[in-house]
Structure 1
Amino acid sequence: MTTPITELIDSSPELEVVAGVDTHADTHHVAVLSVTGARLGDLQVPATTGGYEQLLAFIRSFGTTRLVGIEGTSSYGAGLARYLMSQEVEIREIVRPRRAQRRHGKSDPIDAYAAAAQTLAEPETLPMAKTGDGVIEQIRVLLAVRRSAIKARVAVIRQIKSMLITAPEAIRSRWEGLNERCLVESLASTRPGPATGSVTTATGHALRRLARRHQYLTVEITELEDELRILVGRAAPAMIARKGYGVITTATLLVTAGANPERLRSEASFAALCGASPIPASSGKTNRYRLNRGGDRQANWALHQIALGRLSNEERTQNYAGRLRANGKSKKDVLRCLKRAIAREAFHLIVHPEPVPATEDLRDLRHQRGATLVQAAMNIGAEPARLSELERGKRPNAELTTAYRAWLTAA
């Protein structure tokens, strides 16, 4: 610990200071600078609630806290970031320096002072940290579990198919030609006999265990999606009700935006965060833009899925894409423009959500009219199952709700 230079600098409450924190799994190192850049002191504290209190008290001992920069607010610094926000301390996310920039060596005090200097020099350009709390944090952790379950299930079915290729002839010929669902159900219900009996029975046991693992993962994924549907409907009802936004794509965009979307300065910054902002790719006589391969790739995937869905079944998007192609845009350029437009729409749905039409009374209105789901669906050009989901609040859709209500209440 460096001794604070209180003899040289007045530590009265009127003095404003900034701080930088280098975070680790077990300890955090904080360094404090005056607004003129003078080093006031640094301290190492444990990564516990008591350590957070000690860290904040250390910063405030030098004066009024203007800003605190923290490395890794979504990893090692998440707990500290939540504590400082609860104490109404303004914080910023510090981007870890590249190795080429570490010309003066590396240590916890050096990194902490570097974070403090960056906080002092670039307060307007540094990103605001996510709060990491509330419904969005619930969505994030469930989404992470679902993502790993999806990967595990893909690995299981790949292993089943690979094992069938090298399986004994009796097993390979028995399960040949089945689709994935029937194959898993059939393998899970087999009784191959003792696994120690022969190669055939051992292979049968292995395939049955893999099939049952696949079924377990499917149940887990379904349960997670049901839970996510509830949370997403609570966090962003306007977004999930808009055409093209599914549970997973909406959840992904919400996690990217964070629980405090006001930290996003504009819809352009959100597009850049999602990797959907246009990147200049001009040279000589060529004047064009290309896809942005940076940003959050999961959010970019979500925008891509929404764009593909709308291209296949939304007339407005199809007409827009047709105009772009008529102007000489390639398929990649059309997707880039679509994703940029969807990012703009998603930003406003998150930051400035619109009222969502109610659906609780749709079934009663249909019964009062004496119509069946099939009759209603035929009149408004929808699927009966889709209207049933709408009435039960399973898959909200603002446009469909408006059209359905207009037909139900028509004279």
Structure 2
Amino acid sequence: MPSTPNTSMPSVMIAIDPHKRSWTAAAVDARLQPLATIRVPVSRDGYRTLLRFARRWPDTAWAIEGASGLGAPLTVRLRQDGFTVLDVQAKLAARVRLLSTGHGRKSDEADAVSVGVAAHTSSSLTTAEIDSATTALRALVEHRDDLVKTRTQTINRLHTVLTHLIPGGASRDLNADRAAALLRTVRPRDTAGKTLRALAADLISELRGLDRRIDKAVHDIEMAVKACGTTLTELHGIGALMAAKIVSRVGSIHRFNSPAAFASYTGTAPIEVSSGDVVRHRLSRAGDRQLNYCLHVMAITQIRRDTQGRTYYLRKRANGKSHSEAMRCLKRRLSDTVYRQLLNDANTTT
């Protein structure tokens, strides 16, 4: 386990491993030792039991793994009652568990202890801030992502069925209209062929329904982005969907005291791997991967257009950096740009 506690933290961390139906809490002291654990149901009584559990120690703070995800309901209640909540990323807690004496063995209690150790030892944690608008926006984005995932699965199943009906199957860019046109050319006479054709027709109908629901979800996201007043869409490479993902996952930009802290959260702060006289940096696998993906899309879009991002990227390549190294530099620069835009939005509304 890491052995350097953060001395600015309270003496005991009440760390939570949240699930849909239960919260597992561990009290971890400044020596990184677990004092006690408890598991309660996700309910009003469970919340009260957690508060009584925390009152056993006079100097405490709360830390939740995924405070804006599965831990959001508990985070909201704690924030409403005036408690400060630290947001511990799942990867950070997993790294602590892997380095522990338990050799990565997983249980709810061990996960909660790992969250507590991570909260004590990490200097880059942010305070969880959740408001209703951000929660609603994140729900819309996740709903759209789930629909897209289901659509992909349906397309894959349709490809498999059409392979049995049409020699060579269908092309990769399959959609409902193309599939329907292909199906009209098939008139099987045997039982298996008729069954497969009926199944393909059902999948096409399901695909059309998913397309309509995805279009509605995209429209709802666009309306929500306009309503929240963000100016992220003014940046080249960020559309309504990317803006929604960034706003919903970042929450309050005031949680980050500098562009460097924000870059660490987005996973765009490079990690030095120098040796001797050779100074190099590698990609950071830490941080929020969804935010990192948004910045990656933004970087790719800017490189393909006549933008300042493309000019910066080409300058890095001319200085001898590889494509990957130049991309990492550009994403770090774009992280600062997004940070300033979010900060300006927040200061304008206040």
Report the TM-score when normalising by structure 1.
0.66
Matched to 1:338, the amino acid is L
Counterparts of 2:175 and 2:145, CA distance in 1: 20
Superposed, 1:167-316 pairs within 5 Å as: 167=165, 180=175, 182-186=177-181, 190=184, 198-257=191-250, 259-316=251-308
Give matches, 1:20-169, under 5 Å.
20-23=14-17, 25-29=21-25, 31=27, 45-57=40-52, 59-60=54-55, 63=58, 67-74=61-68, 77-94=71-88, 96=93, 97-102=96-101, 121-122=120-121, 125=123, 127-167=125-165
Shift of 1:312: 1.7
Within 5 Å, which residues of 2 pair with 1:335-350? Answer: 335-350=327-342
| Cα separation, partners in 2 of 1:214 and 1:322, compared to 1, 3 Å | same
Report Cα offsets for 1:25-58 as digits up to 9, x if no partner.
Answer: 435446486x999999876654322332343355
2:311 corresponds to: 319
> Is the 8 Å Cα contact of residues 184 and 211 (structure 1) preserved in structure 2?
yes
Alpha-carbon distance in structure 1 between the residues aligned to 2:274 and 2:142: 38
Alpha-carbon distance, 1:229 to partner:
0.9
Unaligned runs of 5+ in 2: 1-9
Judging changes above 3 Å, is the alpha-carbon distance between structure 1 residues 47 and 338 closer, same or farther for their aligned structure 2 residues? same
> For 1:52 and 1:299, how far apart are their aligned partners in 2?
31
Report deviation, 1:118: 6.6
Following superposition, the deviation at residue 318 of structure 1 comes to: 2.7
Q: Report deviation, 1:191.
A: 10
The DSSP-based 3-state class of the residue aligned with 2:126 is coil
Q: Which amino acid aligns with 2:97?
A: R
Shift in Å, 1:177: 11
Structure 2 distance, partners of 1:125, 1:354, is 24
* C-alpha displacement of 1:158: 3.0
C-alpha deviations, 1:184-231, integer Å up to 9, x for none? 35358x5978x9963332232222222222211111111111111111
Q: Which amino acid letter does the alignment assign opposite residue 306 of structure 1?
A: M
CA drift at 1:69 = 3.0
Structure 2 letter corresponding to 1:280: E
Query: Residue 317 of structure 2 aligns to a residue in which SS?
Result: helix
Q: What do residues 40-81 of structure 1 show as CA deviations (whole Å, max 9, x unaligned)?
A: 987665432233234335545765x55233445345543322
Check 1:135–1:265 CA distance in 2 against 1; reply closer, same or farther (3 A cut). Answer: same
* Alpha carbons 1:168, 1:200 under 8 Å: kept: no
1:287-336: CA deviations, max 9, x gaps? 33233333222222211111111122233233222222221222222211
| DSSP-derived class of the 2:231 partner | helix
Q: Distance in 1 between matches of 2:293 and 2:35?
A: 45
SS of match in other structure, 1:352: helix
CA distance 1:116–1:166, change in 2 (3 Å) = closer
Residue 345 of structure 1: CA displacement?
A: 0.7
Instruction: Please report the TM-score for the alignment, with normalisation by the length of structure 2.
Output: 0.76
Q: CA RMSD in A?
A: 4.0
Is contact 1:187–1:211 with CA below 8 Å preserved after alignment? no
Task: Quickly say closer, same or farther: Cα 1:49–1:215, change in 2 above 3 A.
Answer: same
Q: Answer yes or no: is the 8 Å Cα contact 1:238–1:354 preserved in 2.
A: no
**Partners in 1 of 2:289 and 2:33 — Cα distance?**
40
Counterpart Cα distance in 2 of 1:270 and 1:201: 57
Shift of 1:165: 2.9
Alignment CA distance shift 1:294-1:113 (3 Å)? closer
Equivalent pairs, count: 331
In structure 1, the residue matched to 2:5 is: none
Relative to structure 1, the CA distance from residue 312 to residue 27 in structure 2 (aligned partners, 3 Å threshold; closer, same or farther) is closer
Give the number of the structure with larger relative contact order, counting CA–CA contacts within 8 Å between residues 6 or more apart: 2
In 2 relative to 1, CA 330–178 (structure 1 residues): closer, same or farther, beyond 3 Å? closer
Structure 1 residue 254, shift from structure 2 partner: 2.0
